[in-house]
């Protein structure tokens, strides 16, 4: 009997294979580190270093001990117009 195994990483991808929606469609005011790292094409640990050292191009919010990266700041950093 053949069974197909779907991994969480593969199952979370959208129709075009990207793990997150396009940044233009993101409507939350802040996003998690893994999603911010994806949009900024950096490793998650790089963003954590920015937060710890307070020396990155954007600063995260700290919500209950977790980092949340402002979506508008990510758009600004990438040169996208903020509507």
**What SS3 class is residue 68?**
strand
CA-derived radius of gyration, the chain = 15
* The two structure tokens encoding residue 6: 């779907």
pLDDT tens column, 20-79: 999 999 999 999 999 999 999 999 999 999 999 999 999 999 999 999 999 999 999 999
Angle (nearest 5°) at CA 10 between 8 and 18: 125
Q: Hey, how many other C-beta atoms are within 10 angstroms of the C-beta on 50? A: 20
pLDDT tens column, 3-21: 554 444 444 555 566 799 9
CA 76 to CA 80: how far, in whole Å?
6
């Amino acid at each position: 009997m053949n069974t197909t195994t779907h991994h969480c990483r593969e199952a979370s991808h959208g129709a075009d294979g990207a793990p997150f929606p396009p940044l233009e469609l993101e409507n939350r005011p802040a996003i998690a580190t893994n999603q911010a790292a994806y949009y900024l094409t950096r490793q998650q640990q790089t963003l954590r270093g920015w937060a710890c050292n307070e020396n990155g191009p954007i600063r995260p919010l700290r919500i209950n001990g977790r980092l949340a990266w402002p979506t508008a700041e990510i758009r600004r950093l990438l040169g996208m117009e903020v509507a």
